[in-house]
Structure 1
Amino acid sequence: MVRLPLALLLPAVVVLAACQPMTQDQRPGAAPAATATPEQVAAATAVTRAPAPRPSARATAAQLDTTTPEQRAAAAARPTTAEARLGTTVASLGNPTESGLWIRTPLVRERAMGRIVNPANGRSAQVELIPLTSGGSGSQVSLSAFQLLGVSLTDLPTLEVYRSASGA
Structure 2
Amino acid sequence: MRPILLLAPLLILASCSQVSNPFRRDAPPAPAAPAAAIGQSAAKPAESFDLTSEAERQRAMATTPDPGAEPLGEAVVTLGNAAEPGFWLRSSLVKSLRKGRVEVNGQSVAVDLLPGAGSAQLSLAAYRALELPLTALPQVSVYGN
TM-score, normalization: structure 1?
Answer: 0.57
Q: Over aligned residue pairs, what C-alpha RMSD do you find?
A: 1.5
Gap regions ≥5 residues in structure 1: 1-57
Partner residue of 2:17?
A: none
Instruction: Report how many aligned residue pairs link the two structures.
Output: 102
1:1-168 pair list within 5 angstroms: 59-79=44-64, 81=66, 82-118=68-104, 121-133=105-117, 136=118, 138-164=119-145
Runs of 4 or more above 2 Å deviation: 78-82
Residue identity in the other structure for 1:112? R
2:102 partner SS: strand
Identity %: 37
Q: Quote the offset at 1:80 in angstroms.
A: 6.9
TM-score, normalization: structure 2?
Answer: 0.66
| Distance of 1:111 and 1:59 partners within structure 2 | 32
| Distance of 2:121 and 2:71 partners within structure 1 | 18
**In the TM superposition, what whole-angstrom CA distance separates every residue of 1:47-73 from its partner, at most 9, and x where no partner exists?**
xxxxxxxxxxx7431111111111111
Q: Quote the offset at 1:150 in angstroms.
A: 1.3
Work out which of the two has the higher radius of gyration on C-alpha atoms and give 1 or 2: 2
| Distance of 1:83 and 1:152 partners within structure 2 | 27
